[in-house]
Structure 1
Amino acid sequence: MTTSLFFLMWGLATALALPLLLPLRTRGVGGIQAFTVANALAAFSMLSYASAEIVPPGLYVMLSNATWVCAVSLVYVGVRQFFGLRPHIARTLGISGICIAAFAWMLYVQGNLVGRMVLFSVFTCVVMLATGRLMYRHRKRIHTRGVMLYVMLAVFGLAALHALRVVVYGFGWEAPVSMLQLSRWGLVFIVCGSVAVPALFLALLLLIQTSLSEQMQAALTFDSLTHAYSRRSILDELDHELHRCDRGGGKFAVLVLDIDHFKSINDRYGHAAGDTALRHYAQVVQNAVRGSDRFGRMGGEEFVLLMYDCDPARALVQAQRVCDALRDTPLYLQGVEVPMTTSGGVATYQMGDSADVILARADVALYRAKEQGRDRVEMAWNGRGAGRTQVGGLAGGAAANAPVATCETSETTA
């Protein structure tokens, strides 16, 4: 009765993750359904032993072993699905079916307790090692520190526990007895298992929740279409850098970019082609600029490049590289080469700049570049702009005093 109570507590502890896994099934992360079913089967496996007083031995032993094999197999399948790999469902089910058939043969025909116990633990150990190997190979897909370490400790810990069980019973360290009969090693395995199995499913739950959290953070940080930084994150970074420059000085420049004649691409080839053009543009620009700079999409076809430790001369060089890269990397839509150029405005940091002010100066230069023929970058005035809402009015007044550059760059000072 005491051992049955152990298994009851073990099963309930294993089921603790189940109410938390169930609401996540529709969240679009691979493996959630497999983990949920595996958790339910593992809990049922433990509860089968807890029902030994009311269920015939030949039934509860087989139920427990079969459901455990299916649970462990589903954990492996779920991990493969989580990392976007082929789940190998047919192969895994085939191996599991053979293992269950072997259990039935040993239980009902041979009465081989040692063979069942060793097979049970060998299967669990091998599957957990394969699962842990997968997690180690793909550990960098989860960026939150400590999560993959905890998950791998849970997986390899369970594998180690069953490896020890194989040694103890396979090499005759202790005479095998039913798990319901207390023995020295049997008690060790029950106590350790009641920790290791719930820890495994809580670790899988943590893995899923961390993945969802990182996806949400990525959605806030990056633009879903172009994979450039989002408007929110680029403005936050701009504010941060301006405050840093205010405190300690520094060279900093902002390049506002706009795709030339983008509307004509949408009108002629359709909005899907427009999305392709935006992705192409973002990829080309990101490949052309320094790795330390930050490139983001403000909306539509307007982008911003934050250039750190960059004086006006270097900023113009960077802008020139962007223009050259776009000319040298053609865009193909529906089998037709479509020329793509960009216009830009550069503004460099001045003491006391806010995000609105420095972007307004860059916008003035951008509009001036468009008025002067596009496919060019202009340097902003050194005076103050009132804000982005007044850019249209300022651009016309600035244009008369600006020299001309064809994706060549020019600078105008007040």
Structure 2
Amino acid sequence: MDLATVLLLHKSSFIVGAICFFYVRWRSGSTPGLGVLALGFSLMAIASTLAGLDESLHMSSDARTFWSFSLGANGYGLMAVGLFGLSRRQNSLRDWWPLLLPIVLTLSATITPWYLNNGLRAPVFNGSATILLALSGFVIARDFFRERLTARLGLSASIWVATSLSALVVVGFIFPDDAPLPPRYAFFLLIICHFAVALFVLVLVQERAEEKLIRLANTDMLTGIPNRQHFFNSLPKVLGAGDAFVLIDIDFFKRVNDMYGHDKGDVVLINVARTIAQSVPPSCAFGRLGGEEFSLFLRGQTQSSAFAVAEQIREAVNAVSLVFEGNQITPSVSAGVALWEAGLTEQNVQKRADQALYFAKDKGRNRVELFSSIGLTSSSPSLELRSARAG
């Protein structure tokens, strides 16, 4: 493939990437990193264009070489900055340090014309690109453990391949007779990697948008905890020994709404929901069923351990203190606990937990009741129905 065609493809890869990044940023709002990525790809497109032009541009060969080198190096620097921001999902000044390397190279090129030496300029430029790509690939791969999206794997793989190819270009210029891959072939494959990086950046943005929609669909908008749909979707298809349901209801919630208004009622709901969420085991299913009622599903429980979890939640809510119109409000909850037994369906166990909850309310509220197949008989922890009273 002739040089003109290679340069055209090289320039096209950056133009396509820049257009896609600008468009997606325009459509998605202020997605961190996309704008900087678009700028970086634009600079590299201009640099590639300058490298393929002749004297008809009315610019000397030395000037074209300088600007092609400078814009290309800084384009790779901006690409690294953009990938940092995209990976971390935030725009931060601390992510701009990769620009130090291309800035130093640009300043050195303004002081002395070393860049006019083709045998020196190409290894330095591609060596700089290798370092910046390696840093970007490391950040993208490292953040996979924080955000497990499959597009990250494709993006990091594309960047690491590009890193290896840039390194091969350097080796090819320094050791032309011993290079494992001629620079022109490595350079051509590098063009494909540029397209791949742009593609997987767009896929990553799309996966994030889909994940956000799923999260919104499964999240209660007021309290920020899982909603009814998510809770029931999280339940196993078949219950077994040790499975337990806990139904929780805020005591006298209507009274708060009547006395202080629904906005203060929402404050109570939010605080109670967050308190419960912080108190439940991380492996359980938890959600707001509606109104002031919440549900909890636990596995591997005994009557004592399930009761203890509910009691811990009740005590945690009792520690919440709110002030409305100069009055201190301490919310409380009642809870009903039921464990699966042979022959029971999911609905049966939930109904038992619901019965235990209503018994807790009938017994004065701010307490936990445990249902058993023998019946609601006693408040002693050693008997079939266990109760916990506040204070």
- Which TM-score bucket, shorter chain as reference? 0.7 to 0.9
Q: Distance in 2 between matches of 1:92 and 1:282?
A: 43
2:336 matched to 1:345? yes
* Counterpart in the other structure of 2:389: none
Instruction: Find the residue that maps to 2:10 and give its secondary structure.
Output: helix
Match of 2:136 among 131, 139, 155: 131
> 1:39 corresponds to which letter in structure 2?
F
- The one of 159, 162, 167 aligned to 2:163: 159
Tell me how far apart the structure 1 counterparts of residues 100 and 218 of structure 2 sit (CA, whole Å). 43
SS of 2:196's partner is helix
Distance 2:101 2:293 in 1: 55
More deviation in 401-410 or 222-231? 401-410
* Residue 326 of structure 1: how far off its partner (Å): 3.1
Deviation of 1:342 (Å): 0.9
| Structure 1 residues 207-218: aligned runs within 5 Å | 207-218=204-215
* 1:6-405 equivalent positions in 2, closer than 5 A: 6-25=6-25, 26-52=28-54, 54-55=56-57, 56=59, 57-58=61-62, 60-82=64-86, 83=88, 84=90, 86-88=92-94, 91=97, 95-105=101-111, 111-145=116-150, 147-169=151-173, 172-174=174-176, 185-223=182-220, 226-238=223-235, 241=236, 243-245=237-239, 249-262=240-253, 277-310=268-301, 312=303, 314-327=305-318, 329-331=319-321, 338-349=329-340, 351=343, 353=345, 355=347, 358-379=349-370
Instruction: Tell me by how many angstroms 1:304 deviates.
Output: 0.7
Per the TM alignment, residue 343 of structure 1 is displaced from its structure 2 partner at its CA by 1.0
Q: Is contact 2:336-2:368 (8 Å) kept?
A: yes
Distance 1:15 1:275, change over 3 A: farther
1:305 deviates by: 0.2
Alpha-carbon distance, 1:73 to partner: 1.8
Shift of 1:309: 3.8
Structure 1 residue 306: deviation in Å? Answer: 0.8
Deviations 1:59-92 (A, max 9, x none): 5434433332232222222233231362336655
Q: Distance in 2 between matches of 1:358 and 1:53?
A: 83
Contact 1:269/1:333, CA 8 A, preserved across alignment: no
CA distance in 1, matches of 2:125, 2:184: 17
TM-score, normalised via structure 2 length: 0.77
Q: How many residues align?
A: 375
Cα 1:258/1:42, change in 2 over 3 Å: farther
% same residue: 22
For the Cα contact (< 8 Å) 2:246–2:295, is it kept in 1? yes
Query: 1:246-265 deviations in whole A, cap 9, x for unaligned?
Result: xxx54432211122244566
In structure 2, C-alpha distance between the alignment counterparts of 1:318 and 1:89, rounded to whole Å? 44
For residues 125 and 232 of structure 1, what CA distance do their matches in structure 2 show?
48
Partner SS state of residue 30, structure 1: coil
- 2:80, 2:135 within 8 Å by CA — same for their partners in 1? yes
Shift of 1:365: 3.7
Distance 1:96 1:407 in 2: 71
**CA-to-aligned-CA distance 1:272-329 (integer Å, 9 cap, x gap):** 77666545434443444333321112234321101224455543333223223333x4
Tell me, in whole angstroms, the C-alpha distance in 1 between the residues paired with 2:83 and 2:205: 10
Cα distance in 1 for partners of 2:380, 2:51 equals: 80
For residue 138 of structure 1, give the secondary structure of its aligned residue in structure 2: helix
Deviation at 1:206, TM superposition (A): 2.9
Give the TM-score taking structure 1 as reference length. Answer: 0.73
SS at match of 2:93: coil
Question: How far apart are residue 101 of structure 1 and its match?
Answer: 3.5
Distance in 1, matches of 2:255 and 2:381, equals 20
Q: CA 1:94–1:14 in structure 2 vs 1: closer, same or farther (change >3 Å)?
A: closer
For the Cα contact (< 8 Å) 1:139–1:148, is it kept in 2?
yes
The 1-side partners of 2:360 and 2:49 are apart by: 74
Contact 1:4/1:52, CA 8 A, preserved across alignment:
no
**Cα 1:30/1:407, change in 2 over 3 Å:** farther
**Letter of the structure 1 residue corresponding to residue 345 of structure 2:** D
| Shift in CA distance, 122/23, structure 1 to aligned 2, threshold 3 Å | same
Cα distance, 1:375 vs. partner? 0.3
Secondary structure of 2:238 counterpart: helix
Distance 1:354 1:338 in 2: 36
CA distance in 1, matches of 2:266, 2:320: 15
Greater mean alpha carbon deviation, residues 63-72 or residues 94-103 = 94-103
Structure 1 residues 255 and 69, CA gap change in structure 2 (3 angstroms): same
SS in 2 for 1:142: coil
Does structure 2 retain, via aligned residues, the 8 Å contact 1:31–1:79?
yes
- After superposition, the CA RMSD in angstroms is 4.0
- Secondary structure at the aligned position of 2:199 is classed as helix
Three-state SS of the structure 1 residue aligned to 2:184 is: helix
Aligned to 2:149, what secondary structure does the other structure show?
coil
**CA pair 314-92 structure 1, distance change in 2 beyond 3 A:** closer
Any unmatched runs of 5+ in structure 1?
Answer: 176-183, 384-400
